Amino acid sequence: MCGIVGYIGYREAWPIVLKGLKRLEYRGYDSAGIAIINEGGQNIYKKVGKVAALEEFAESQDKTGTIAMGHTRWATHGVPSDRNSHPHTSNNNKLSIIHNGIIENYATLKEELISRGHEFKSDTDTEVLIHLIEEIQKIEQTDLLEAVRLALKEVTGAYAIVIMDRENPDQLIAARKGSPMVIGVGKGEYFIASDATPIIEYTKNVIYLNDHEIALVTKDDLLVKRLDNVVQSPLIQELELKLEMLEKGGFDHFMLKEIYEQPRSIRDCMRGRIYPEEGKVQLGGIKEFVEKLKNIDRIIIVACGTSWHAGLVGEYLIEEYARIPVEVEYASEFRYRNPIITEKDVVIAISQSGETADTMAAIEMAKERGATIFGICNVAGASIPRLSHAGVYTHAGPEIGVASTKAFTAQVTVLTLMAFYMAQQKGTITQSKLISLLTELDSIPDKIQIALESNDIIKEVAAKIKDSRNCLFLGRGSGFPVALEGALKLKEISYIHAEGYPAAEMKHGPIALIDEEMPVVFIATQNSSYEKVISNIQEVKARKGKVIAIVTKGDTEVKKMADYCIEIPDADEAFLPLLATIPLQLLSYHIAVMRGCNVDQPRNLAKSVTVE
Ligand code: F6R
């Protein structure tokens, strides 16, 4: 988490860095700060709260200068406060630093530095690093680049850092390990940021810095070397991102825009990958592993949060169609077990951001043990696709709302394609079945469009249950991960306690919670478990629970029992998660808005969880 932005060039740096921080606010919004150098010296402004608070605080200050760097924080070490905000400075205040990540051995380094006379002004791990750099520069009598290189060899943990020296206003130093960093290459200017969004309106040419690389950036030149001192020739890539993708486009919130984008994002995800008339799925990203896929013993899916829910949907689909056993693991648990992994395993890592620390660690462990890694990721060029042997991008476009919506449905789409692809390669599906499934899949974006048309009814339901203190989401089969996802969406943006459960498990415990105060949302579409879900609905009604049911259009049975019904179009069971998720996203959204919550930036959360 945390977002970083740096600029060096010929333009006024403050507006560039400030705007960049606003774009990166999804990464954390506990505090913000900017350091800027001009002829008068270095000015540092920092403030607890959002970037807007910093903007107001610095309104009448001197903000001139053509070199600057800024930070938006998601607190780890030290409470959110002005003094813990970045940038942090060295003991002599000459050097300043911004940092995304965690310096794990900061406590021992700090003790050593204190014994050498250093005084600390914050509780952060980051401040320790800049003091260490200062100390090494003093002892080794080296230039700043070399001091940073030597200091980074002493630290453990993750970092994307930018460093400025007020006595050397012609350079920025940047480095990364485990946290993302993009360098924008302009003419007579360079930009540094956690992702490409602060850079896109100035240049399309970018370099993704690799782990263990350090860069010396001046306005006309860039030197990249590895921590072992070997100079690198960085690859300049062209961004596909468009500026309008980063704006709300008339919607009140990014989350709502992203919910409504789903017909488009799913179409983009399938483009060039399905050929319904021929009954063919093409996944260029994993095609060189096709022989391996025919002979694997099992698939392990690793992910966190919403991406883990997509993994559970993937389990149903891959087992159903490709007949390969699948295990779905929380990356954070998997990495600290001693799991049995062999060279015959394929590990699918799912991540919207491609930067989630636990998922990355799980990949590294599985790779060491010989597994083949497939990444499913939304952000191009992020760490997870780079760590993977092969993979498939979701192509959902930038997701800015902290609560994941269109990324989830795109992940499910990719997993559906993978299941069909593997089934086709292994011969576990007939050609006629594949043609019929692909033909229907092709129409799913239109069906999502129809599902979105229930918005007004969903708003009415939201008004009825917005003051609840708890809410239960129940589903069976692939409706279970949908229930989990519905519950997660509600709790993260509206702060209502919500649980997702397999409907049949209700009687083993959660049924004790049911009374007239408890809304229970059922995924009750007409599929193989329809009759059984109806029985579960009756169990809730018998205890005076309030039932909200997601039903197939034209349903009459559930309507007799439920307090409120929300219809979605009929579809093959394989596509139920893609459709049933839509009303749940809208339900959470409207409840959160009605409760006055900050939908796009819910408290305590960050979009990119780069710490474990
Ligand atoms: C919930 C949400 C999180 C993420 C999780 C994993 O709406 O967004 O639960 O799904 O932090 O993030 P990624 O997919 O970036 O690895």
384 Cα: distance to centroid of ligand 1 (angstroms): 14
In the structure, what pLDDT confidence band is assigned to residue 381 with cuts at 50, 70 and 90? Answer: confident
407 Cα: distance to centroid of ligand 1 (angstroms): 9
Burial of 245 (0-12, 13-18, 19+ CB in 10 A): middle
Burial of 156 (0-12, 13-18, 19+ CB in 10 A): exposed
Can you give the pLDDT at residue 275? 96
178 Cα: distance to centroid of ligand 1 (angstroms): 17
Can you give the pLDDT at residue 178? 86
Helix (H, G, I), strand (E, B) or coil at 289: helix
Catalytic residues: 2, 607
pLDDT digits (tens, 9 = 90+) for 73-82: 998 889 999 9
* Average pLDDT, integer, range 522-530: 92
Q: Is 306 in the pocket of ligand 1 (CB under 6 A)?
A: yes
Helix (H, G, I), strand (E, B) or coil at 440: helix
In ligand 1, the atom with minimum distance to the C-alpha of 405 is 7
Higher pLDDT pick, 114 / 610: 114
In the structure, what pLDDT confidence band is assigned to residue 388 with cuts at 50, 70 and 90? Answer: very high
382 Cα: distance to centroid of ligand 1 (angstroms): 15
Query: How high does pLDDT run on average in the chain?
Result: 95
pLDDT for 417 beyond 90: yes
175 Cα: distance to centroid of ligand 1 (angstroms): 25
In ligand 1, the atom with minimum distance to the C-alpha of 402 is 8
188-197, 235-244, 403-412, 546-555: which range is least confident on average? Answer: 235-244
Residue 504 and residue 510: Cα distance in Å, rounded? Answer: 10
* Average pLDDT, integer, range 92-106: 95
pLDDT digits (tens, 9 = 90+) for 350-375: 999 999 999 999 999 999 999 999 99
Q: Is 356 in the pocket of ligand 1 (CB under 6 A)?
A: yes
Residues forming a β-bridge with 499: 472
In the structure, what pLDDT confidence band is assigned to residue 249 with cuts at 50, 70 and 90? Answer: confident
**Residue of the nearest CA to atom 9 in ligand 1?**
305
Q: Is 401 in the pocket of ligand 1 (CB under 6 A)?
A: no
Residue 376 and residue 398: Cα distance in Å, rounded? Answer: 15
Topology of the domain comprising 3-243: Glutamine Phosphoribosylpyrophosphate, subunit 1, domain 1 (3.60.20)
271-275, 328-332, 466-470, 503-507: which range is least confident on average? Answer: 503-507
253-451 is classed CATH 3.40.50.10490: yes
pTM listed for this prediction: 0.87
φ, ψ (nearest 5 deg) of residue 166? -65, -20
Can you give the pLDDT at residue 610? 75
In ligand 1, the atom with minimum distance to the C-alpha of 489 is 7
Can you give the pLDDT at residue 609? 80
Q: Is 492 in the pocket of ligand 1 (CB under 6 A)?
A: yes
In ligand 1, the atom with minimum distance to the C-alpha of 309 is 10
**Residue of the nearest CA to atom 5 in ligand 1?**
305
Can you give the pLDDT at residue 63? 96
**Residue of the nearest CA to atom 3 in ligand 1?**
305
pLDDT for 59 beyond 90: yes
**Residue of the nearest CA to atom 10 in ligand 1?**
306
* Average pLDDT, integer, range 435-439: 97
Q: Do domains 253-451 and 453-597 have the same CATH topology?
A: yes
pLDDT digits (tens, 9 = 90+) for 107-153: 999 999 999 999 999 999 999 999 999 999 999 999 999 999 999 99
482 Cα: distance to centroid of ligand 1 (angstroms): 15
Can you give the pLDDT at residue 112? 97
Can you give the pLDDT at residue 1? 75
* Average pLDDT, integer, range 320-339: 95
Can you give the pLDDT at residue 246? 85
Q: In this structure, are residues 536 and 506 in contact, taking their beta carbons and an 8 Å threshold?
A: yes
Q: Is 353 in the pocket of ligand 1 (CB under 6 A)?
A: yes
Q: Is 351 in the pocket of ligand 1 (CB under 6 A)?
A: yes
5 Cα: distance to centroid of ligand 1 (angstroms): 23
* Average pLDDT, integer, range 192-208: 95
22 Cα: distance to centroid of ligand 1 (angstroms): 20
Residue 71 and residue 190: Cα distance in Å, rounded? Answer: 17
Dihedral sign of CA atoms 123, 125, 127, 132 in order: positive
Can you give the pLDDT at residue 470? 95
In ligand 1, the atom with minimum distance to the C-alpha of 304 is 6
348 Cα: distance to centroid of ligand 1 (angstroms): 16
Which residue among 307, 388, 489 is best mutated to probe the pocket of ligand 1, counting the most ligand atoms within 8 A of its Cβ? 307
| Distance spanning both ends of the chain, measured CA to CA | 10
Residue 475 and residue 244: Cα distance in Å, rounded? Answer: 37
Q: Is 307 in the pocket of ligand 1 (CB under 6 A)?
A: yes
Please tell me the CATH code under which domain 453-597 is placed: 3.40.50.10490
Q: Is 609 in the pocket of ligand 1 (CB under 6 A)?
A: yes
* Average pLDDT, integer, range 178-183: 92
In ligand 1, the atom with minimum distance to the C-alpha of 408 is 10
Which residue among 352, 359, 402, 485 is best mutated to probe the pocket of ligand 1, counting the most ligand atoms within 8 A of its Cβ? 352
Can you give the pLDDT at residue 435? 97
Q: Which helix (DSSP H) or strand (DSSP E) does residue 559 occupy?
A: helix 557-561
- State the CB neighbour count (10 A cutoff) for residue 573: 17
pLDDT for 390 beyond 90: yes
Q: Is 404 in the pocket of ligand 1 (CB under 6 A)?
A: yes
Q: Is 403 in the pocket of ligand 1 (CB under 6 A)?
A: yes
The rounded percent of the chain whose pLDDT value lies above 70 is: 100
Residue 487 and residue 501: Cα distance in Å, rounded? Answer: 9
589 Cα: distance to centroid of ligand 1 (angstroms): 17
447-481 burial, b if ≥16 CB within 10 A, otherwise e?
Answer: bbeebbebbeebbebbeebbebebbbbbbbbbbbb
pLDDT for 395 beyond 90: yes
In ligand 1, the atom with minimum distance to the C-alpha of 407 is 14
Parse the chain into domains and list their residue ranges: 3-243, 253-451, 453-597
Pairing of strands 519-523, 470-475: parallel
* Average pLDDT, integer, range 379-388: 90
Which residue among 609, 610, 612 is best mutated to probe the pocket of ligand 1, counting the most ligand atoms within 8 A of its Cβ? 609
Beta strands in 426-559, from DSSP E residues, in sequence order? 470-475, 497-502, 519-523, 546-552
- State the CB neighbour count (10 A cutoff) for residue 244: 7
* Average pLDDT, integer, range 526-550: 93
